[in-house]
A and B are shown apart, each in its own frame.
Chain A
Amino acid sequence: MPYQIIVCGGIAPDPLQTLEPAMGPAGPALKNEMMLPAVFDPWAAHALYEAAHLARQFPGSSIRVVTLAPKAKLQQVMMTVAQKLPFELIPIDGPGGGFTDAVEVSKVLAQAISAIPGIDMSQFLLFGGWESATRGSGCVIPMVAARLGIEDCFLAVDELKIEDGALVIKERVEGGLLQVSRCSAPPAALAWATGSLPEPPNHPQTGMANMRAMMPALQRAKPAGLTGEGFSVPQATLPAQQRQTQVVKDKPAAEISRELLEWIKG
């Protein structure tokens, strides 16, 4: 059976960057956010790679990515992501940082998904990241699912297998345990943890094919119109950090851990 997979995923500052919260005119923001290079949110990226894997196994499947992000930055990010696998982009122009109200974000995403013609609930899988690199609220996908009337929602998913048409889902649960559930059929919502698939290599031809539809979609992207009403972030700080780097190769793990321990003890 083919699946109609919709992946909700935003963009986030490249995790290699040094991030600094700062107070902007509209509340907290990241310092120099527009200057920072961005990537597709790493949690949602896992969901996307899993979606590609599933779609490859079930001919006729489709993948769409619904994204709320500033469109100029999103376009730049797509020049890389679009090279990884074929998908359709549904962009919504709006803030990309973590300082937005998850309730409002879920509403905008659910509206965009509801507006897609031809969705067949019996084939529909909602994918996304369990958290986001911008803020780990962990509640966007369940809220989108609820708004779309999807009752089966799985959080921190590490694996999905299809057995006789049923979805067999491995989730992380409290206490470091894993739980395996069987969901007889779509629709279902899966908020992915890391999954197990590596990042697919860039494939320039896939990118070219994707971009033919993505550029016009980006140019047409409508503003999200988030109001931020009733939502505020009184404070945002980073944990204090100290760093002292050594780059070593071929050092035994035991020795590295001993050195780390010594360093932590001071």
Chain B
Amino acid sequence: MSIETEAGNDVNGVDAKPLDADIVCVGFGPASAGFLTTLTKLLQAPSTDQPVESRAVPGMPPQILCYERADDIAFGVSGVVTRARAIKSTFPYLNTAEIPLSARVGSERLLYLLDPHGASRRPLWMRLADKVIKGLAREDYSYEAPYIPPFLHKQDGFIFSLGQFMQWSGQQVMFSGTAQVWPGTPVSDPLFENGKVAGVVLAADGTEIRAELTVVGDGPVGPVGRRLDEVYGMPLGHKRDEWAVGMKMVVDLPASCTLEEGTVFHTIGYPEPEIFGFFYVHPDRVASVGIFVPSWLDSPVRTGYRYLQHFITHPAIWRHLKGGRMRSWGAKSLLESGRRGEPRLCGDGYARIGEGSGSTNVLTGSGVDEAWLTGRLLAEGVHELWREGLPFTKANLEARYVRRRRTSWLEKESIIAERARNGFQRGILRGFLGMALAGFTSGALGYNRRRDKPARPLEEFYRGRLSAEQVRDIRAACEKDAQPLHDALMEAAGWPAIEFDGQLLVSHQDALLMGGKVQAAPDLPDHVVFRDPDLCAACTNRLCIEICSGEAIHAGENGAPVFDRDKCVHCGACIWNCTQEVAPGVSNVAFCAAPGGLHSAEN
């Protein structure tokens, strides 16, 4: 028997029949925020035309739903410094005072960081160059580039906390009453019907949300986007094979720090030459500091956290941070294949936006504004189609969304960036050269991409620095203690141990608890699954354990990986760091939709 409350709600539970909507969005990142904000504004703009009516529920306004996996819309991770061209065009009078932790970009510097410990993997030419640069460098082992290349600079832009920006924009979308954004509600799959996408399936209870248009903005590692790629395939020549894991901390700066709000540092050269770093100063003496560990860092013990600690303790960074306190910490993957990683942008019943649609620009180091723009362009197209009473078919979406994208600055800049990072496949010198060539010639010159090399075995990688016996002993000791290898190997190779201060330099587990406040919902199945345990048992390069941003993957029996979801931050790095494939292009790590993860609203 069903019971009605005054509000008309059934206290005995609702039946699980499919729900009908006009549009369903997967994920609430900058891309979906750009989409929903623009669409809301367009639907609410004063007009003499008939108001747009829902096609799913006639007589009602359009039914627009957005489902976000994380437990709050503010739990994303990013830098962020952004030129915010698209965001500013949506909010021409954006007042930073309304959004906590946001500031206008003030002074901007590009620092080359020398290695004070002599432990990083610098090729000979770089060590020689370092000797010269040392004569010009400051006492803090940094050299400030006299000039910032125009493609990198962020003048006139903003520093944001992504979490706070998303919270601010999400509240406006919700209060407009035009769209609903549901946190803690992962989408497990697209709903396929007769070769079309007919909506989505929610992970919680398998509810089908049927919608005429599914907007996929689930970011770089979202399962819905990946499923569409599996089913529809990537366009010819396109591949998602360049990645990075971005890891950051938000820090209460010490009283001694004199950096002004709006200060931006971009860094190169340390802790490894391939690792780029950032330091952005928010208002009220708070800063975001972090690094990007890329997939082309050819190390079988690729780690984010340990490198982050070495980055923040570099003398040029530590002079500003010493005595500071960690407020927040987080990590997330970035899809850095750019345009080459662009999937099919639309099909019957669906459109792709944001980083998962290949929008992130690796040359300019920018993804938020690009993602926002893709959402905005889709919203403009969708609104037009609604007004004209046209369906959301592939042809119509191509004409109204993809065509807008192709004529936008996003497209122009992503063509320039397309070959910018290929040089890193050939070494560090050619990596930097390739970036400069692409940037200064507007993409006319650059290196072509080579096939990826598999990760080298540990013994080979450390040859000349550690003997095979040393590596073997370290491997055995770590396996016995169920510890990842990177700490022991890095220390054996000359990296100093990190002395914890309990405030900023804390153990990885403390960072999870103090900064990330990581949580997993009880009673759910594991969302990270090793597809073929035999592959793991035989695997000799267990990068999944080394890279894991939350130490959620550790060595179990015989060293094979074991997953602990209470520590998982959903960064997605295990997917692209797995060294084995179960099928071409499919790694041995299955990463499914689940709630939980970070509970920090400041990243």
Contact = CB atoms under 8 A, between A and B. Distances in A.
B333 interface: no
Contacts of B564: 249
A173 interface: no
B204 A88 contact: no
Contacts of A205: 14-16, 19, 207
B283 to A, nearest CB: 11
Given A56-B13, A202-B184, 11 more contacts: A14-B517, A56-B11, A63-B11, A86-B5, A88-B5, A118-B6, A206-B13, A208-B65, A216-B177, A243-B514, A245-B509
Interface stretch (B70-78, B106-114, B460-468): B70-78
B599 interface: yes
Nearest to B602: A35
Contacts of B19: 204-205, 208
Contacts of B9: 86-88, 206, 209-210, 213
B5 A75 contact: no
B519 interface: yes
A52 to B, nearest CB: 7
A204 B601 contact: no
Closest 7 pairs (CB-CB, A-B): A86-B9, A88-B7, A16-B517, A62-B5, A213-B7, A55-B11, A35-B100
B384 interface: no
B165 to A, nearest CB: 11
Interface in B515-544: 517, 519
Given A204-B185, A204-B207, A75 B101 contact: no
Interface of A: 2, 14, 16-18, 32, 34-37, 52, 55-56, 59-64, 72, 75-76, 79-80, 83, 85-88, 118, 201-213, 215-216, 218-219, 242-247, 249
B171 interface: yes
Contacts of B167: 76
Contacts of B517: 14, 16-17
Contacts of B100: 32, 34-35
A108 B595 CA distance: 36
A235 B67 CA distance: 42
A81 B7 CA distance: 16
Contacts of B7: 86-88, 210, 213
A253 B500 CA distance: 27
B6 A72 contact: no
Given A60-B3, A76-B174, A210-B7, A202 B567 contact: no
B14 A35 contact: no
Contacts of B559: none
A63 B519 contact: no
B592 interface: no
30 contacts: A16-B517, A16-B519, A18-B327, A34-B100, A35-B100, A36-B601, A37-B599, A37-B601, A56-B12, A59-B12, A62-B4, A75-B175, A76-B72, A79-B181, A80-B71, A80-B184, A83-B182, A83-B185, A88-B6, A88-B7, A201-B205, A204-B207, A206-B9, A206-B14, A207-B185, A209-B9, A212-B8, A213-B9, A245-B510, A245-B513
